[in-house]
């Protein structure tokens, strides 16, 4: 039974050593890997919004498409209608 206890203690010690954080001497300098993104400019950006924008009809009424950006959905906790109108008017200028 003593030999099983020794084996268990050795295994526990090995596990503890493998989980310890490395000392600063053990850390290697940072190197970028081939498939790693180096800056924000490497990230592809969409050209246009994937959501249709709210708009005004000819009669002046506001249209908020149900598939527009959820931030415009006042019925679902989004922006207030007044805030949406103000944003759209500020874009026109």
pLDDT per residue as tens digits for the range 18-32: 766 656 555 566 555
Q: Are 65 and 54 in contact (CB under 8 A)?
A: yes
Q: Where are the domains of the chain?
A: 51-93
Give pLDDT, residue 21: 62
For the entire predicted model, the pTM comes to 0.47
User: If residue 81 lies in a helix (H) or strand (E), which one and from where to where?
Assistant: helix 81-92
Q: How far is CA 26 from the centre of its chain?
A: 31
Of the pLDDT bands very low, low, confident and very high (cuts 50, 70, 90), residue 2 is confident
pLDDT of residue 15: 75
Q: What is the CA radius of gyration of the chain?
A: 29
Give residue 66's region: left, alpha or beta (phi > 0; psi -120 to 50): alpha
């Amino acid at each position: 039974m003593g030999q099983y206890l020794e084996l268990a203690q050795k295994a526990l010690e090995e596990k503890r050593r493998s989980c310890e954080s490395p000392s600063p001497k053990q850390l290697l300098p940072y190197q970028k890997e081939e498939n790693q993104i180096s800056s924000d400019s490497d990230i592809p950006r969409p050209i246009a919004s994937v959501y249709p924008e709210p708009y005004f009809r000819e009669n002046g009424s506001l249209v908020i498409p149900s598939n527009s950006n959820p931030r415009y959905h006042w019925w679902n906790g989004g922006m207030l209608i007044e805030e949406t109108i103000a944003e759209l008017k500020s874009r026109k200028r």
